Chains A and B, each alone.
Chain A
Amino acid sequence: MSILTPEEWGIIALSLRVSLAAMLGILPIAFALAWALARVRMWGKIWLDALVHLPLVLPPVVTGWLLLLAFGAQGPIGRWLADWFGVSLLFRWTGAALASGIMALPLMVRAMRLSIEAIDPKLEGAARTLGAGAWRCFFTISLPLAMPGVLAGMVLGFARSLGEFGATITFVSNIPGETQTLPLAIYSAMQMPNGEGLTLRLALVSVVLSLAALVGSEWLMRRGMRAGMRGSGGV
């Protein structure tokens, strides 16, 4: 493809890598939180719920700054990571993935929580009377029935990560080849003299990727809705 230069392909590849890592990395945490919010009776649930949604409403620059405080060289988690594993997320693509993942978390939790709440606990009770232990019940009944929401949450989280800007640039800066994802590259291109062409091409790529993610998520939702309708039809 001669429309895009190798550098531009590199930006797209980095963006996809960061978003995929963000979504997959945050997935187990998002699912656990969704499960806890949907199912576990606990004190202070309203606060946990608020905390999960915080990245959705907080200025992204604040989220990025908080990450910097926690994961920076002097931050509690940053120092612990450096001491025990010799790694730092600062100015690395892994740090960009962390920032994107945190920003995607609320959307993923929302989608999954809805479909977990829609599971009839009586079906799980039926499985228990048929001899299934807690784990078999989870993997054969709860998880398959929650799957539409899990898949929709994954696509939404991935799409949200692709567009992440504020928290990423605050936390890991804007380093070509390492942390410069599509939105950051577009931001840089806009400030370059004669960068209009590059801006336009990258913006078009953004539109195409976002459209693909939205159509994909809509398709999954519809499939899930059909499965859900099948699920509730018999009773």
Chain B
Amino acid sequence: MFEIDVEIRRSGRVIAAACNAPAGLTGLYGVSGAGKTTLLDMVAGLLSPDQGRIVVGGVVVFDKDAGVNLSPQQRGCGYVFQDNRLFPHMNVRDNLIYGMRRKTKGRNGVAVMSLDQALEFLGIGALVARMPQSLSGGEAQRVAIGRALLSAPRFLLMDEPLVAVDRARRDAILRLIERVRDELGLPILYVSHDRGELDRLAGMVVELG
């Protein structure tokens, strides 16, 4: 599903990564500074590698030698950030529907999910009128997952989605991610520094750094 072989120079250090991940959830594991987030940013198109090639689900999104570099909005990725990055000037509802205008080319992942279904699926129906800064870590992260899912992504990138979530809510989010993995059938790259979390979620674990 993900064929990645890239190299990038970041603040004088070369980060290189190669992996060939099957369908399902693939874990990216490594210590802080190993370049896990950098790798996700390159797959999302927020950073351009210096060398290499990235293919997702048969679509070449980056190929240095062939001069291919799709913009982030063309790649159809649903990116759940570590710091959630909800838009502070929009309420939960407007955050959720921000990506719904996208027409993803090729294989559509979960374009079928409506706003109501997402609210139900994530259990965030009561939050729609709230502003992001009034949400708890767990609520904000569920909204961020919903925003990514509603943008009709072809694949998901998750960067330590449990970091800002208090311990008591972690299990609920983990179960939610398992449902995303099993019921929606989207390929997922999942970054974590917690081996136990990855053993529970991932079909395959790639170690970086």
Known contacts being A234-B140, A235-B83, is A130 close to B151, with CB within 8 Å?
A: yes
Restricting to B128-169, which residues have a CB under 8 Å from any CB of A? 131-135, 140, 147-148, 151
Question: A residues within 8 Å of B by Cβ?
Answer: 120, 122-123, 125-133, 140-141, 144-145, 227, 230-235
B89 is an interface residue with CB less than 8 A from chain A: yes
B52 is an interface residue with CB less than 8 A from chain A: no
Whether the pair A129, B44 counts as a contact (CB closer than 8 A) is: yes
Which size class do B's interface residues fall under?
20 to 34
Partner of A144, one of B86, B89, B102: B89
- Of B10-18, B70-78, B170-178, which stretch is located at the interface? B70-78
List 14 interface pairs A-B (beta carbons < 8 Å), by A numbering: A123-B85, A123-B87, A126-B79, A128-B73, A130-B102, A131-B76, A131-B101, A133-B73, A145-B88, A230-B88, A230-B133, A231-B89, A234-B84, A235-B84
Restricting to B62-107, which residues have a CB under 8 Å from any CB of A? 71-73, 75-79, 81, 83-89, 98-99, 101-102, 104
By secondary structure, the A interface counts as: helix
- In the complex, chain A residues whose CB is within 8 Å of the CB of B45: 128-129
Question: B residues within 8 Å of A by Cβ?
Answer: 44-46, 71-73, 75-79, 81, 83-89, 98-99, 101-102, 104, 131-135, 140, 147-148, 151
**CA of A225 to CA of B52 in the docked complex: distance in angstroms?**
44
Task: List 8 extra interface pairs beyond A126-B85, A129-B77, A132-B98, CB under 8 A.
Answer: A127-B87, A128-B71, A129-B78, A129-B151, A140-B98, A141-B87, A233-B88, A235-B85
